[in-house]
């Protein structure tokens, strides 16, 4: 399984940008980089994904290194509602038209008011 490495925890002040790093040095050419987050007592929620180029959506931005061995999830202005565990995942094809997410330990983000 392709592996990702993330810091166990990070803190941010409210309304400041947050950069969540992820290393995935064994990524293969067909692996998409996905980010999910899990708020307390809820199921995980899709945040963003990318392959090679940087990506933006309404929730966050994803910056992917040129060699694709690392990526950074950027929350532009952290709010208290962004406090969650953020998972960086390499999406892999699992056959029969479906894709598998192998969750790592993730980064627990705390937002300080």
Partner 1 sequence: DAMVIQNPRYQVTQFGKPVTLSCSQTLNHNVMYWYQQKSSQAPKLLFHYYDKDFNNEADTPDNFQSRRPNTSFCFLDIRSPGLGDAAMYLCATSTPSRSGSYEQYFGPGTRLTVT
Using CB under 8 A as the binding rule, whether residue 42 contacts partner 1 is answered as: yes
Binding residue (CB under 8 A) for partner 1 from 29, 40, 43, 113? 43
Binding residue (CB under 8 A) for partner 1 from 105, 107, 111, 113? 105
User: How many Å apart are CA 2 and CA 12, to the nearest integer?
Assistant: 29
Q: Which residue has the tokens 């699992």?
A: 94
Nearest to 87 by CA among 107, 101, 69, 70: 107
Distance of alpha carbon 2 from the chain centroid: 15
Binding mask 20-39 for partner 1 (x = CB under 8 A): ------------x-x-x---
Using CB under 8 A as the binding rule, whether residue 92 contacts partner 1 is answered as: no
The interface region with partner 1, picked from 12-20, 60-68, 73-81, 97-105 by CB under 8 A, is 97-105
User: How many Å apart are CA 104 and CA 22, to the nearest integer?
Assistant: 11
Using CB under 8 A as the binding rule, whether residue 44 contacts partner 1 is answered as: yes
The interface region with partner 1, picked from 9-17, 63-71, 76-84, 99-107 by CB under 8 A, is 99-107
- Please count the other Cβ atoms lying within 10 Å of the Cβ belonging to residue 95: 8
């Amino acid at each position: 399984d392709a592996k990702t490495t993330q810091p166990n925890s990070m803190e941010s002040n409210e309304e400041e940008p947050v950069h969540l790093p992820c290393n995935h040095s064994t990524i293969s050419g067909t692996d998409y980089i996905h980010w999910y987050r899990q708020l307390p007592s809820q199921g995980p929620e899709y945040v963003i994904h990318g392959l090679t180029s940087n990506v933006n959506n309404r929730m966050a931005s994803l910056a992917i290194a040129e060699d694709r061995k690392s990526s950074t999830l950027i929350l532009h202005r952290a709010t208290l509602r962004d406090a969650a565990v953020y998972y960086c995942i390499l999406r892999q094809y699992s056959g029969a038209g479906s894709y598998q997410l192998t969750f790592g330990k993730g980064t627990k983000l705390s937002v300080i008011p």
